[in-house]
């Protein structure tokens, strides 16, 4: 596996002159990925909105148990995807905060105003994304498993 990563790295290697450039390039890639994650979660969210309003009624009505089961089966993959993407986004935010801190120190030491202004924009987006990802994790927690039985049991458990 290590050999594969080395070969992949050699193919993708660009000339990076300093750790500041490396951190900035990494932060830019992470920011793009965070946007992709947000888009994917938003697409999954539309599916949940259609079913979410009916879930409260289904969990209390014994006759509606079949409808809830069908809903779980329909939402199992989108729910798992949204939950896993939110986990990825949360990990990405932690990595981004390390890069932000390193870059801030470097830009402050060199008094680079443009770099600091760019970091401020990235930081505001990161701060905006964090509660949204945490909320998605909480809302999709029952879908953290691909087992329909576990998801159904979790949804029927009283809050």
Q: In angstroms, rounded to a whole number, what is the distance separating the alpha carbons of residues 27 and 99?
A: 6
Q: Which two tokens stand for residue 120?
A: 């401020």
Residue 128 counted as domain residue:
yes
Residue 52 counted as domain residue:
yes
Residue 141 pLDDT exceeds 80: yes
Residue 129 counted as domain residue:
yes
Q: In angstroms, rounded to a whole number, what is the distance separating the alpha carbons of residues 95 and 116?
A: 18
42-95 confidence digits (pLDDT tens)? 888 777 766 665 666 655 666 677 777 777 788 888 889 999 999 999 999 999
Q: 10 burial class (0-12, 13-18, 19+ CB within 10 angstroms)?
A: exposed
pLDDT at residue 77 in the model: 87
Which one-letter DSSP state was computed for residue 13?
Answer: -
31-42 confidence digits (pLDDT tens)? 999 999 999 998
Q: Which two tokens stand for residue 58?
A: 């289904």
pLDDT at residue 57 in the model: 62
pLDDT at residue 95 in the model: 93
pLDDT at residue 16 in the model: 47
Which one-letter DSSP state was computed for residue 112?
Answer: -
Residue 5 pLDDT exceeds 90: no
Q: In angstroms, rounded to a whole number, what is the distance separating the alpha carbons of residues 135 and 83?
A: 10
Which one-letter DSSP state was computed for residue 144?
Answer: G
pLDDT at residue 152 in the model: 80
Residue 135 pLDDT exceeds 80: yes
Contact 91, 124 (CB under 8 A): no
Residue 19 counted as domain residue:
no
Q: In angstroms, rounded to a whole number, what is the distance separating the alpha carbons of residues 107 and 49?
A: 43
- Domain encompassing residue 113: 31-156
Q: Which two tokens stand for residue 23?
A: 């951190």
Residue 71 counted as domain residue:
yes
Q: What average pLDDT does the structure give for the chain?
A: 82
Read off the pTM.
0.77
User: How many domains does the chain fold into?
Assistant: 1
């Amino acid at each position: 596996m290590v050999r594969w990563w080395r070969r992949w790295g050699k193919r993708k290697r660009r000339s990076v002159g300093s750790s500041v450039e490396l951190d900035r390039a990494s932060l830019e890639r992470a920011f793009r990925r965070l946007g992709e994650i947000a888009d994917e979660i938003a697409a999954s969210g539309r599916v949940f909105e259609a079913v979410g309003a009916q879930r409260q009624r289904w969990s209390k009505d014994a006759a509606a148990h079949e409808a809830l089961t069908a809903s779980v089966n329909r939402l199992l993959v989108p729910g798992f995807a949204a939950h896993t993407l939110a986990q990825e986004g949360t990990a990405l935010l932690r990595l981004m905060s390390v890069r932000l801190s390193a870059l801030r120190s470097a830009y402050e030491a060199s008094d680079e105003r443009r770099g600091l202004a760019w970091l401020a924009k990235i930081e505001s987006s990161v701060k905006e994304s964090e509660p949204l990802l945490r909320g998605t994790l909480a809302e999709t927690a029952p879908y953290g498993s691909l087992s329909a039985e576990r998801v159904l049991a979790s949804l029927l458990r009283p809050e």
